[in-house]
Amino acid sequence: MYGVIIEGLLESLSITNLILIFLSTFIGVIIGALPGLGPTIGIALLIPISYGMETTTALLLSAGIYVGAVYGGSITAIVLGIPGTPTSTATVLDGFPMSQQGRSLEALAASTVSSSFGGFVSALFLMFFTPMLSRVVLKFGVAEQFMLAMFGLSVIAVSSRESFFKGLLGGFFGLAIATVGYDPITGYNRFNFGVDYLADGFPFMVVVIGLFGISQTISMAEKAQTISGSTELSGSIWTGTVKVFKNMRVLIQSTLIGSFMGGMPGVGGGPANMIAYTTVANSSKDRDSFGKGNIKGVIAAEASNNATVGTALIPTLAFGIPGSTVAAVLLGLLMLHGVEPGPKMFIEMPLTIYTFFWGLLFTNLILVLVCFPLLKYFAKITIVPYQILVPNIFMLCVLGTYGMRGYVFDVFVGIAFGVLGYFLKKANYPMVCIVLGLVLGRLAESNLSRSLMIHRNLDFLYKRPITLTLLILTAVIMIIPYINIEKIKRRLRKN
Amino acid sequence: MRALKKYLSIDVIMAGVILLIIGIMAFNGYVMSNLSATSLRYPTFVFTVCLVIGTLEIVKGVRKNARTEFKMPVFTNKRNFFFVCGAIIVYASLLTILGFIIASSIFTISYILYTRYEKPVRIIVTSLVIVIVIYVVFTQFLHVNLPQGLILRVIFN
Kindly indicate the confidence band of residue B52, based on its pLDDT and cuts at 50, 70 and 90: very high
At B46, is the pLDDT very low, low, confident or very high (cuts 50, 70, 90)? very high
Nearest to B42 among A399, A415, A448 (CB): A448
How many angstroms separate the Cα of A57 from the Cα of each of A235, A333, A351, A355, A453?
39, 12, 13, 10, 46
Q: Which of B55, B110, B142, B143 to mutate to test the interface with A (most CBs of A within 10 A)?
A: B142
Q: Which of A173, A180, A449 comes nearest B50 by C-beta?
A: A173
Residues of the domain holding A418: 2-227+235-483
Maximum alpha-carbon separation in chain B:
67
Specify the pLDDT at position A465: 86
DSSP state letters, B34-79: ---HHHHHHHHHHHHHHHHHHHHHHHHHHHHHHH-S----S-S-HH
Asked whether the predicted pLDDT for residue A109 surpasses 90, the reply is yes
Residue A158 lies in a domain: yes
For residues B156 and B152, give the distance between their C-alpha atoms in angstroms, rounded to a whole number. 6
What is the tally of helices (H) and strands (E) in chain B?
6, 0
User: Considering the entire predicted model, what is its pTM?
Assistant: 0.79
Q: Does some domain include residue A185?
A: yes
What is the per-residue DSSP string for A304-342? HHHHHHHHTHHHHHHHS--SSHHHHHHHHHHHHTT---S
Higher-confidence position of A162 and A295? A295
Inter-chain CB proximity A190 and B75 less than 8 Å: no
Residue type at position A262: G
| Nearest residue to A290 (alpha-carbon basis) of A475, A85, A98 | A98
Q: What residue ranges in A205-306 does DSSP mark as E strands? A: none
Q: What is the model's pLDDT at position A3?
A: 78
| A306 contacts A70 by C-beta, under 8 angstroms | yes
At A226 the three-state DSSP class reads strand
| Beta-carbon separation of B144 and A424 below 8 A | no
Is residue A448 in a domain?
A: yes
- Residue pLDDT, tens place only, A140-195: 788 888 888 887 777 676 666 667 788 889 989 999 999 998 888 888 888 888 88
User: Does A489 fall in a domain?
Assistant: no
Residues in chain A, overall count = 495
Of residues A418 and B63, more confidently modeled: A418
Can you give the C-alpha Rg of chain B in angstroms? 24
Q: With 0-12 CB in 10 A as exposed, 13-18 as middle and 19+ as buried, what is A314?
A: buried
Question: Residues A108, A109, A110, CA angle at the centre, nearest 5°?
Answer: 90
Domain membership flag for residue A30: yes
The verdict on a CB contact (< 8 Å) between A399 and B146 is yes
Which tops the pLDDT comparison, A164 or B43?
B43
Residue A444 lies in a domain: yes
Taken in order A142, A146, A147, A151, is the CA torsion positive or negative? positive
Chain A residues near residue B42 by CB distance under 8 angstroms: 179, 445, 448-449
Residue B35, pLDDT score: 80
- Is it the case that residue A297 has pLDDT exceeding 80? yes
CA contacts within 13 A on the Cβ side of B62: 11
Helices (H), A337-385: 345-348, 350-380
User: Three-state SS string across A118-182, please?
Assistant: HHHHHHHHHHHCHHHHHHHHHCCCHHHHHHHHHHHHCHHHHHCCCCHHHHHHHHHHHHHHHCCEE
Q: What integer best gives the mean pLDDT of chain A? A: 83
Residues 6+ apart with CB under 8 A from A239: A106, A109
Å between B79 CA and nearest CA of chain A: 8
User: To the nearest whole percent, how much of chain A has pLDDT over 70?
Assistant: 90
Collapse the DSSP code of A391 into the 3-class scheme (helix H, G, I; strand E, B; otherwise coil) and give the result: helix
**Is a pLDDT exceeding 90 seen at residue B47?**
yes
**Domain presence at residue A129:** yes
Rounded CA-CA distance A261/A450 in Å is: 19
What separation in angstroms does the CA of A268 have from each of A142, A259, A265, B2? 15, 10, 7, 51
Report chain A residues whose CB lies below 8 A from the CB of B21: 173, 176
pLDDT score, position A398 = 87
- Residue A443: the pLDDT is 82
pLDDT (tens digit per residue) in A274-284: 888 888 887 78
Number of domains in chain A: 1
